[in-house]
Amino acid sequence: MLLVLRPERFEMRLLVLIALCALVCREAAAQTVEEVMDAFAFAFRGVEADAPLDVSKPVKRSVHTARITYEIHNANGSYFIYIESQRLCVFTLGTIVQGKETDRSTYDINKASRFEFTMYLDRVTGVGGEIRLEGRGVLCTKTGCENAYTTPVRFLTGKPLDRQIEAVKRTDRAVDYIKQRCPGRPY
């Protein structure tokens, strides 16, 4: 028995298959962007929803298109940290306190020629580290752009050393994940 497909049916099935694939790919890409944004917020600000290691303060996370907002509660009240990504691997981090934006920085990982995380152990202050970005205009704020950025990272000060070390490992994995997902110059 010979199976014959009519051209119009074949074309229709092909169009449906292409549309379905496009929908699945778009959803997977959106999921990846959201995961990279979460990793970036964790690595650069230490915020994470449902943090299993108490790495950050209690956080409520909400997602709106290309923006994730973390609501953080502490003894002085609450504030918001947000991350936006309008372009692939370009992240804007900001803080909102009492309805006013207190800071806003844009990091363009695509321009980074150096992106690394270094850990250190200090007998007095515990485990720490620093994240270093270098590249032409890699960080932009209200006052202009800079070619280098280094930020210290403190981990669970006063907590047991094994929990601090686990937080360091998680930060290292977050930085590695960002580097894998963000194309650009070789690191």
The tokens for 177 are: 């994940």
Q: Provide mean pLDDT across the span 158-164.
A: 73
Say which DSSP state 179 is in: H
Q: What is the pLDDT of residues 129-159, one digit of tens each?
A: 888 989 899 999 999 999 998 888 766 666 7
d(CA 150, CA 130): 7
CA 137 from centre of chain: 19
27-41, 93-107, 158-172: segment of lowest average pLDDT:
27-41
Query: In terms of DSSP bridges, do strands 114-122 and 100-108 run parallel, antiparallel, or are they unpaired?
Result: unpaired
CA 7 from centre of chain: 47
| Domain parsing of the chain, residue ranges | 28-181
Say if residue 119's pLDDT is above 50.
yes
The tokens for 12 are: 């229709």
Q: How many helices (H) and strands (E) does the chain have?
A: 2, 8
Question: What global pTM score does this model have?
Answer: 0.72
SS3 128: strand
Q: HSE on the CB side for 49, CA within 13 Å?
A: 15
